[in-house]
Chain A
Amino acid sequence: MNAASVKNLSIAIVCIVLAALIPFVFNGYWLSIALTAMMYIALSTSWALFSGPTHYISLASGAFFGIGGYLVATGMSDYNLSFWLMMAIAAVVATVLAALIGMATLRLSGVYFVIFTLGLAEMIRNLVSWVQNNFLGSRGLYVLTDFTEAHIYWMLLTVSVIVFALGWVISQSRLGFAMRIIGNDETVARHVGINTAKAKVLLFMTTGFFAAIVGAIIAPRYSYIEPNLVFSPELSFLVVIMALLGGMHRLWGPLLGVIPFTLIWEAISIWLPNFTTLFLGLTFLIIVYFLPNGVVGLLEKLRARVAT
């Protein structure tokens, strides 16, 4: 290990310890905001593992997240299964679904993939509601656990740390190298013998896996679950926008998008609840026209200017 990576590792450890201490310092309102932010950190960072190098905008987060939350709720409410078992099942289901979607769409151009994921959460919500209404009887599902907000927060922190660690491992691996080539030029990647479809599908599966885990962990926070609540298309867009705002060419980029965006989003939801959609739209345009590389890109540009 060289000096730079020792330095980076120590910074990371300090950040993790500080983040782990948050529930001891704050409670109530600020803890719940920290929890929301931690949820989006896990979601956006795992999203960027796939979309960062490939530039494929996945809007499937809401679907996978919903699968996590809904399966946990069904298992615990209807079959008395344990939370942990259901979380594992949800993760497997989402990963398999991601593999199938990936195999069907990622062979083709990126547009098909975007469109397919665009309505996915809504479609699964319709299917689940239909099954529930016709075969299971329509009633709400309860997720009753002993978890406090602090527990949920720590679980999400653990997931985020794992996502970061995995992101680092991937970036050092053959897969990460292959992804960088695919991102630069897919034709070149194919010609040097990279199985581009396989690499993309693998990374998309990790995104699905983590989104389902996060959805499962969040379920106890709501305690009452219905399909309309967990399969929210809005979530997919929030994940995308936070990751893009932060910048996707660095592993820690989404972090810099999530924290400011969560705070602003929270403020707007309280004071100007009718303007959240408008704000979402404006942020998209700001990213496209002024911050194509996100906050990280902006900071790097500023630093380069100071250095010269």
Chain B
Amino acid sequence: MDILISGLLLGGTYVLIAMGLNLQYGVARIMNLANGEMIVLGALASFWVFTTASVSPIFTVVLIFPVALLGNWLVYRYLLIPLVRRAKNQGQLEVDSILATFGMSFILVGIVVSINGEYFTYSFLASPFEVLGSTVALNRLVAFVFAVVIALVLYLWLNRSRAGMAVRAVSVNSASARLVGINVEKVSALAFAIGGAVTAVAGVLISTFITLDASVGVMFTMKALIIVIMGGVGDIRGAIIAALILGLVETAVATLIDPGLTLAAAYLIFLLVLLFRPQGLFGKPQT
């Protein structure tokens, strides 16, 4: 039962990490390998305002969203659109965007190290809380609630609003979306920006209960990628379920075998997905 509860809570935060990447890859077709660094930046911002001005991370979430939105939009507009325009095919864009986002991720790590090379430790809502007989930390629960709310809002926005429909259209087929009068570049930039902003918010929330430092970004990137592929690229619902599965499996492995093996467990899941359902849990086979 303890495993179930803390596994689901961990899965909730993975939902946040993966949703941002899912939008970025599913719609804008950018395999953003600097995703983990966006988490680290969010965490650093939260740590920084908390320790210098004692601003609650809950408030930082509101603060960081527009900043990250603008930042990611600028990155897409000025660094990635040239690559999209230059690419002759999807394969070339993939290679270019992988290399470019690797570059960005290293630059961000370098910048974060020069700002703060230490761990971002602070204590926020670290009090125990009872859920269904299990004791969990309150901050994890708060993060989980946020994850649920953000996932719901995103889901409704994508499926009920006009802008969301345009985003889904680009995700399904960007060439046809252009034919029906959707400005693909604009929509992609929007999706990329929102994805980045959601990821930064995830970073703020994660920093309340996991101690981060400049170098952990790549591990989050790795897990987000596994979730996105497992759930099916561009599929929010699939990503949520995949994130919960990963959270449960990792918690089970960490408590029952050894905490050092969580990455190996994630790899095992990834391998199984690649072997048996490379199109994702709910994806349709590619033609």
Q: Which residues of A contact B (CB under 8 A)?
A: 55, 57, 104-105, 108-112, 114-116, 118-120, 122-123, 126-127, 129-130, 133-134, 233, 237, 244, 274-285, 287-289, 292
- Contact digits for B35-78, partner A, Cβ 8 Å, 1 yes 0 no: 00000000000000000000000000000000000000000000
Most buried by B among A112, A123, A127, A274: A123
Give the residue name and chain of the A residue nearest to B261 (CB). Answer: A130
Q: By the criterion CB–CB under 8 Å, are B110 and A278 in contact? A: yes
A278 in complex: contacting residue of B33, B83, B106, CB < 8 Å: B106
Which residue of the partner chain, among B94, B105, B109, B271, contacts A110 with CB atoms under 8 Å?
Answer: B94
Q: What are 15 A-to-B residue pairs whose CB atoms are below 8 Å?
A: A57-B99, A104-B275, A112-B278, A115-B222, A123-B263, A126-B264, A130-B264, A133-B260, A233-B218, A237-B106, A274-B114, A279-B110, A281-B110, A285-B100, A288-B83
B contact residues around A108 at 8 Å (CB):
274, 278
In the bound complex, how far is the Cα of B99 from the Cα of A237, in angstroms? 10
Cross-chain contact B274 with A288 (CB below 8 angstroms): no
Whether the Cβ atoms of B94 and A111 lie closer than 8 Å is yes
Contact B263 A285 (CB under 8 A): no
Interface residues of chain A: helix, strand, loop or mixed (majority): helix
- The number of residue pairs between A and B whose CB atoms lie closer than 8 Å in the complex comes to 118
CA distance A112 to B270 in the complex (A): 10
Q: Which residues of A contact B264 (CB under 8 A)?
A: 123, 126-127, 130
B82 within 8 Å of A by Cβ?
Answer: yes
Assembly CA distance A129 to B270 (angstroms): 21
Bound complex: CA of A126 vs CA of B261, how far in Å?
Answer: 6
B240 near A: Cβ within 8 Å? no
Q: Is B2 an interface residue (CB 8 A)?
A: no
Name the CB-closest residue of A to B224: A115
Contact A278 B100 (CB under 8 A): no
For B108, the chain A residues whose CB sits under 8 A away are 281
B287, chain A: closest CB distance, angstroms: 12
Given A112-B229, A277-B106, A289-B82, does the pair A57, B260 have CB atoms closer than 8 Å?
no
Q: Contact check, B226 vs A275: say whether CB atoms are below 8 A apart.
A: no
| Chain B residues, Cβ within 8 Å of A112 | 229, 274, 278
Residues of chain B with a CB closer than 8 A to A281's CB: 102-110
Q: Is the CB of B91 within 8 A of A244?
A: no
- Select which of A116, A123, A133 is within 8 A of B274 by beta carbon: A116
Minimum Cβ distance to chain B for residue A23 (Å): 34
Q: Which chain A residues lie closer than 8 Å to B229 at the CB level? A: 112, 115
Interface centre among B103, B258, B266, B274 (most CB of A within 10 A): B103
Q: When chains A and B are docked, how far (Å) is the Cα of A130 from the Cα of B263?
A: 12
User: Which residues in A have their C-beta under 8 angstroms from that of B107?
Assistant: 277-278, 281-282, 285
Q: Does B153 contact A (CB under 8 A)?
A: no
Q: Which of B103, B117, B218, B266 has a CB less than 8 Å from the CB of A288?
A: B103
Cβ–Cβ < 8 Å partners of B266 in chain A:
119
Whether B267 contacts A119 by the Cβ 8 Å rule is yes
Q: Are B113 and A277 in contact (CB under 8 A)?
A: yes
Considering the complex of A and B, which 9 residue pairs feature the smallest CB-CB distances, nearest first?
A284-B103, A278-B110, A281-B106, A281-B107, A285-B103, A277-B110, A119-B222, A280-B106, A288-B100
Instruction: Provide the bound-state CA to CA distance between A281 and B103, in Å.
Output: 4
Q: Which residues of chain A come closer than 8 Å to B15, judged between CB atoms?
A: none
B219 touches A119 (CB 8 A): yes
* Contacting pair A118 B218 (CB below 8 A): yes
Asked whether A274 and B113 contact (CB < 8 A) given A119-B267, A130-B261, A281-B107, the answer is: yes
Q: Which residues of A contact B82 (CB under 8 A)?
A: 289
Name the interface residues of B195-224: CB closer than 8 Å to any CB of A. 218-219, 221-222
Asked whether, in the complex, the Cβ of A110 is within 8 Å of the Cβ of B225, the reply is: no
B111 CB-CB contact with A under 8 Å: yes
CB distance from A112 to the nearest CB of B (A): 6
Residues facing A in B214-263 (CB within 8 A) are 218-219, 221-222, 225-226, 229, 258, 260-261, 263
CB distance from B278 to the nearest CB of A (A): 5
- Which residue on chain A has the smallest CB distance to residue B89? A185
B31 within 8 Å of A by Cβ? Answer: yes
Asked if B98 lies at the interface with its beta carbon under 8 angstroms from chain A, I say: yes
Residues of B within 8 A of A123 (CB): 263-264, 267
Pair A126/B260 contact, Cβ less than 8 Å: yes
A119 and B106 contact, Cβ closer than 8 Å, known pairs A112-B278, A233-B218, A284-B100: no
With both beta carbons as reference points, the residue of chain B lying nearest to A287 in the complex is identified as B99
Q: Are B274 and A105 in contact (CB under 8 A)?
A: yes
- For the complex, what is the distance from the CA of A109 to the CA of B279, rounded to whole Å? 11
